[in-house]
A and B are shown apart, each in its own frame.
Chain A
Amino acid sequence: MLTEQEKKIVKELQNNIPLVKRPFEQMARRLGMEEQELLDKIEEFRQRGILRRFGATVRHQNLGYTANAMVVWDIPDDQVEEAGKTMAQFPEVSHCYQRPTHPGWPYKLFTVVHGKTRAECEEKAGAIAQKTGYHNYKPVFSTRELKKSSMKYFED
């Protein structure tokens, strides 16, 4: 769990870093800390797994990644773990999650497959099916982005 001061640090760090010579010093000052203390804290957050990374979040659409498919897989219960681990190995798979099923929704494994076109994603998904031997899958494409924002924690 985070202390109240740590929550404040998270809030500060999730904003855009100031475009000034000493950005961490400016942020540290707002937090009532020394620059070095903040730099150390960032490293500590990294080691504790709290900070996934510090850097840029880029809009894929603007950079040539025009298609991505959520490929969902219907996998027998006793094979989910193995299948998940195998699919995670593919470099074109950016996310691989296990999720619960529901009546009318049999798919346990969710992968996100990136490609430049829909056809390329379908091809990649097909290749994964071929290599893993799991053929009961469905690529579900996004047709429109209704919202995409970066999460801000501890703001409300």
Chain B
Amino acid sequence: MHLDNLNRELLNKIQHGFPVVPEPYKDLANQLGIMEEEVINRLRAMIDAGVIRRLGGIFDSRQVGYTGTLCALKVPEDRIESVAEVINEYSGITHNYLRDHEYNMWFTLLAESTERIDQILGEIRERTKIEEILSLPASRIFKIKVNFKVAGESKC
């Protein structure tokens, strides 16, 4: 999807500063000098096109009582699809990537307890017959920042 300047500006605004007020789209429209309806139409188009993955609340997994870990395993080339299929089934596994390392499959796992995490990893070991899964829960977070300025607008 082509993003014109107005869409870029809109995206930059709503990544950080979505107005939590009774009429947020009107507020954004006033900031951008366009009609409320146009804000809504542009947002709908960007959601439909997948440019915006979600427009809502992003919660802190720890603060809502969840615990998480980053996992890595070595998957033979010819088993990547079938192993990924097993892993991706779990809703708490939100990200799964192939990476250019001996540990070639990396996924994140969030669950309501460490017991549930162990249980899921146990199931994955059993179903994939891959015994070694590194589980690397963060012991300390020095920085977490998920939103970036939209490219083309300014360097970051």
- Interface set of A (CB-CB < 8 Å, partner B): 1-2, 7, 10, 13-17, 19-25, 35, 39, 42-43, 45, 48-60, 62-65, 70, 81, 84-85, 87-88, 91-100, 102, 105, 110, 114, 116, 138, 140-156
CB-CB contacts below 8 Å: B33-57 with A: 36, 40, 43-44, 47, 50-57
B residues lining the A interface (CB < 8 Å): 1, 3, 11, 14-18, 20-26, 36, 40, 43-44, 47, 50-61, 63-66, 70, 72, 84, 87-88, 91-101, 103, 105-107, 110, 134, 136-148, 150-152, 156
B51 contacts A99, C-beta separation under 8 Å: no
Contact A99 B96 (CB under 8 A): no
Of all chain B residues, the one with the shortest Cβ separation from A97 is: B138
Given contacts A87-B142, A95-B143, A99-B137, contact A63 B59 (CB under 8 A): no
- A58, chain B: closest CB distance, angstroms: 6
Helix, strand, loop or mixed for chain B's interface?
mixed
- 6 additional A-B pairs beyond A17-B18, A142-B98, beta carbons within 8 Å, are A50-B59, A56-B18, A57-B147, A64-B151, A65-B148, A151-B94
In the complex, A105→B135 CA distance in Å?
A: 11
Contact A19 B140 (CB under 8 A): no
Q: In the complex, which residues of chain A have a beta carbon less than 8 angstroms from the beta carbon of B94? A: 147-151
Q: Which residues of B contact A17 (CB under 8 A)?
A: 18, 24, 55-56
Is B43 within 8 A of A19, CB to CB? yes
